[in-house]
Chains A and B, each alone.
Chain A
Amino acid sequence: MKNKKTHKWILYLLILGVVILTMETCKTHYFRSNYKDANKLLHDNKNLLTKPFLKAHLKNGDVSILRDTWKVDTRQNAVSGKGNHYDFNRKKVYEGKISIPIDSVAIFETNRSLEETENSRITGLTIMAGLDVAMGVFCLLNPKACFGSCPTFYINKHDNLHYADAEGFSSAVAPSLEYFDIDALDNQAFNEPHFSITMKNEALETHCLNHVNLMVYPVQEDERVYQTPSNTFYLCENNHPLSLAKGPEGTVTSLLVGKDIKERISLADENNMSSKEEICLEFNNVKNSGDLGLLISFRQTLMTTYIVYSALGYMGNEVGDLIAKMEMNNRMQGKLTNGLKEELGDIEVYVWNESKNSWEFQDGFYETGPIALNDQMLPLKNVNSSSEVRIKLVLNKGLWRIDYLALTNIKKEVKPIEIRTDKILNEGKTDHEALNQINTSDQYLISMPGSEYRFNFTLPKANQKYELFLYTKGYYLEWMRENWIKNKNLLKLRQLVENPAKYLRLEAKSYKIYEKTMEQEFWNTRINTDKFEYDEK
């Protein structure tokens, strides 16, 4: 659908180009006139403010070209002026004052100046060049926005970054940080015996994939399987929509009630990147409040992207040494991965406990990555046995984009079946080596920038509806960019690792500058305005 729209758009542009081209080629320039009669020549040119150049084609084949100072002397019966005289082979034989007897002239030729046509072309190209340079500079400064991040997965292989269905292991920026990631595909396979998904490397990164598996669970028509932040899976039914949501900016129910990619976001605190905010939720007419789960569809803003790139920039030309040290130092690894994460925090979930008259902490959601939306569910405990449920979310300002919130009824915990890929297509051709690498635990499929692999899976049964999850395991290596090296600042790096709270406080002002342009540019360059929205709070 989206792809069709893109194709249509390109077609319109091409048609426009052809129309412009046709219009231009239809233009004729009647700029040249020939005269056999000198009187007619005089008559036609006497009222002109600027005299045209005059070419006198002589009967002997020579030609005299007179500049705009020529005149006809009717007494002498000659044309005179300054110019050049050429023989029949067009070799210049004279330059200067010329007087030509009219009797020797076969034809006079005049040429009016042609209308200027280059300006519009030059203007168009200049505008395009300006836009190209601006876009290039933007991408150079904010590569994540333009070049994607970590492996991105697409059910429709023609989709682009804005429509990624999953992104794998976003935080694994070094071999020692390798982990597995499970993403709900929110796409139920039905009747089809096969399922395919395309993996793209759209970044200046080397992706090392240990596994790409599909996790499936059979469901009935009114059932869904949801994944919790700790990767347990529950079979659920019913959907209780959000009745009211209030954030610091006011009511945000309309942004959170539907799964429509109209997301609720906030901007970071200008004094502290780890400031928190609250969103209060109300659900009315809830049935079976004893086994409820909170459904959420969310992703991050570009705040963590900024921090990762800043960290690599602070390493400067020592990036290789420092990453190698980190690989061998568990303490440093822990600090780098957990310190900042703890400071930024989860989307914490609290349920109002009527009997205790207080908010009761449940758990939190956290998933790194600004591209694909994560669909997860959190089982709620000690919910009042009434039809009204009140929930509070506590989250870091400017870190999260939330698209959807709802309640569901949990039926039971389930264990999805894990399926290995049985065929990998690399640029449309079967890649046996890649298949072997991805299905062998100690081997890695290496994906370089621009690579695209299509993974095929055979589902256990045809004519059965399945809930699908993508399991990916691996890590990726960022390619160091020249402009990052200039930002080397080991003290700042130390502060980020050792004292993330202070770092987030001191870095807030710089981030605000980045946030203002980055978020707006990234999401405003969207394809379908109905699907994405930037709400400036």
Chain B
Amino acid sequence: MKSKLIITSIILAFILSNCTYPKYLPKRDNIGVSEYGSYIKVKRTAGKKIRGELLVIDTTGINVLTNSHSKNKVVFIPIKEIRRFKLKYAKPSAYWWTIPVYSLASIGHGAFLIFSLPINLAVTVTTTTNSNSVYNYNDLTYKELKMFARFPQGIPQNIDISDIE
């Protein structure tokens, strides 16, 4: 039982440690001065999930600036192909490290580990997941979503979309 809980917490810690965010995503206090669009993950009706910076949205679809192998690429996703999306507009504080650290602290509690480990896991996992989801939107209308794009006004005519970095 003990070892299972410890292993679970370590796995969770690893999973959550992968929740890294792009550099352009501002911290909570810098939302107002961030020059970039928000980070968006789009699940399509078919094909791979698209994730990247929300560039622009219009009535036909959205453009996302993706980054794969250090190469930027603008991907257009037609509205009808969007199954759902999740928008993250600020970088959450990182609490994932509390899961292994607090769980390991429970080992020092000996027999009382059976109480302290579940409490520690409940508190740290809740805090981490809670914190990860605090700056998210997944129920915005497309009109509201526009406000979080780099170009809420749409792509200016003088710009070739392939030149965007």
Contacts and interface: CB of A to CB of B under 8 A. Distances in A.
Interface in B41-78: none
Contacts of A113: 29, 32
B5 to A, nearest CB: 10
B133 interface: yes
Contacts, number: 154
A114 B136 CA distance: 13
B93 interface: yes
In this complex, the member of A139, A145, A158 whose beta carbon has the largest number of chain B beta carbons within 10 angstroms is: A139
B150 A132 contact: no
A158 B150 CA distance: 57
A148 B156 contact: no
Interface residues of B, number: 56
Interface in B125-143: 125-127, 129-131, 133-137
Contacts of B129: 21
B85 interface: no
A433 B15 CA distance: 39
A111 B35 contact: no
Contacts of A14: 118, 122
B35 A25 contact: no
Contacts of A9: 118
B108 A61 contact: no
Interface residues of A, number: 66
Contacts of B127: 121, 124-125
B106 A32 contact: no
Contacts of A76: none
A32 B135 CA distance: 13
Interface in A1-45: 6, 9-10, 13-14, 16-18, 20-21, 24-25, 27-29, 31-34
Nearest to A137: B108
B109 A59 contact: no
Nearest to A54: B32
B105 interface: yes
A205 to B, nearest CB: 12
Contacts of A525: 112, 115
B95 to A, nearest CB: 7
B11 interface: no
Contacts of A59: 153, 156
Nearest to B165: A89
A365 to B, nearest CB: 26
B90 A146 contact: no
Given A14-B122, A17-B126, A53-B32, A114 B90 contact: yes
Contacts of B29: 113
Contacts of A160: 111, 114
9 contacts: A53-B33, A84-B35, A88-B156, A90-B36, A106-B152, A114-B31, A124-B127, A139-B112, A146-B109
Given A17-B122, A65-B32, A121-B127, 11 more contacts: A13-B118, A25-B134, A60-B158, A61-B151, A63-B35, A67-B33, A88-B159, A106-B153, A118-B131, A121-B95, A124-B123
Q: Which 7 A-B pairs have the closest CB atoms?
A: A146-B110, A106-B153, A53-B32, A17-B126, A111-B32, A147-B110, A136-B108
